[in-house]
Amino acid sequence: MTAPNTVPAGTPGYADAAAHAAGLPGLTGRAGLADPGGAAVTLERVTKSYDRGRVTALDNVSWTFRRGTFTAIMGASGSGKSTFLHCASGLDRPTSGTVRLGETDLGKLKETALTRLRRDRVGFVFQGYNLVPSMDVRRNITLPLFLGGRRADAGWLDEVVYRVGMADRLDHKPSELSGGQQQRVAVARALVTRPEIVFADEPTAALDPRTAGHVLRLLREAVDATGQTVVLVTHDPTAAAWADSAVFLSQGRIVDELTRPTAATVLNRWETL
């Protein structure tokens, strides 16, 4: 898996360079970002404790994910990466502090409203794919829309399916797909609702390098071509090099950020954590 490093991240043409570096076809174009630089998700003084406060997974963390950016979250096991993602995405509630999706304070939402917000405004990609075995590719992709009582925008669905390269597999069940194909379906499902932010938790950990490159290219393209915001949790310096920035956690705190990361600079910083 080769990471892009010749064109500055977040600029027009970056994803084409990334695709070229990975031996993949180029993109068809880049859409303008809506309110670039605005806050997609904001965490303010977020702490998450367990065991009646005896274990602190996140310690007074503040951070803002800007719209139209790709951020990699890195750190050793137990550093707080997964807890950070869960609190930022609304999958878990912090012990204290504030998390906002756009202008919405997640802490003020009841569980039903929070579930609806995650379904309609947040996309998720997990290592385990989480596809429904009995559903074909088309139904798996559109499942969040179905659960929300919404119809799929035919044009956008066709665009998402085209971008993930699954147009000729729409009638297949997950058991008929490779691991890489299943993860591409999961990426399409995350994008089909036009979410304000996509959270990807180790999405390439179980994939071979070439297949991982395909998945990372899709996430990079979601930012460059459609203006999405992507947050990627990963242990892999090469995967982090596809991002605009890499944020490092240690003992539940953010300790550093690298802009325009490369695999080499990420690995060097990792070794000093």
Predicted TM-score (pTM) of the model is: 0.83
Ranges 6-10, 48-52, 195-199, 223-227: which has the least confidence: 6-10
Burial 16-52 (b: 16+ CB within 10 A, else e): bbbbebbebeebeebeebeeeeeebbbbeebbbbeee
CATH number of the domain enclosing 133: 3.40.50.300
> Rounded to 10 degrees, what is the CA torsion of 250, 256, 258, 262?
-30
Q: Are strands 39-50 and 55-66 parallel, antiparallel or unpaired?
A: antiparallel
Place of tokens 């915001």: 229
pLDDT at 52: 84
User: Would you say residue 168 lies in a domain?
Assistant: yes
Q: Over the stretch 120-149, which tens digit does the pLDDT of each residue have?
A: 999 999 888 899 999 999 999 999 999 989
Q: Supply the range of the domain harboring residue 234.
A: 37-270
DSSP-based three-state secondary structure for 272? coil
Domain annotation covers residue 24: no
Number of domain units in the chain: 1
Distance (Å, whole) CA 189 – CA 184 = 9
For residue 80, is it within any domain? yes
